[in-house]
Amino acid sequence: QKEVEQNSGPLSVPEGAIASLNCTYSDRGSQSFFWYRQYSGKSPELIMSIYSNGDKEDGRFTAQLNKASQYVSLLIRDSQPSDSATYLCAVITPSGGYQKVTFGIGTKLQVIP
């Protein structure tokens, strides 16, 4: 089982719809969770972080964390063509005295005008 799993997609949604991106992780000791956006040919950009159960909203983005079910999701409301990118889930887990960062493979999102 991969440590951080994401569906590689592509996930296609019409403009104005809600895009829902999901990520599951295997280690119950994981403590910090992040979403990155990566445009083609560019570097990943940190867009959301979440550390406790529940929802965290920032503009059109909402991150959701459920530690009991070991999943974290990202909702993008009113999706725009400019949101078309690959979204990477990252998880930080204490490991051997340090904090280990693990990335998922990323979900490619396509917003159709």
Partner 1 sequence: NAGVMQNPRHLVRRRGQEARLRCSPMKGHSHVYWYRQLPEEGLKFMVYLQKENIIDESGMPKERFSAEFPKEGPSILRIQQVVRGDSAAYFCASSSTGTRGAFFGQGTRLTVV
By CB atoms closer than 10 A (0-12, 13-18, 19+), residue 81 is exposed
CB of 16 or CB of 53, closer to partner 1 = 53
Give CA–CA dist 102/74, Å, rounded: 17
Cis peptide before 44 (omega within 30 of 0): no
**Count of residues engaged in binding partner 1, rule: CB under 8 A:** 22
**Which x/- pattern, by CB under 8 A, does the window 7-46 give for partner 1?**
------------------------xx-x-x-----xxxxx
State the nearest-atom distance from the C-beta of 64 to partner 1, in Å.
17
Residue choice 25, 63, 104, 109 for contact with partner 1 (CB under 8 A): 104
Residue 88's nearest CA partner among 27, 1, 5 is 5
**Binding residues vs partner 1 (CB under 8 A):** 31-32, 34, 36, 42-46, 49, 88, 90, 92, 98-106
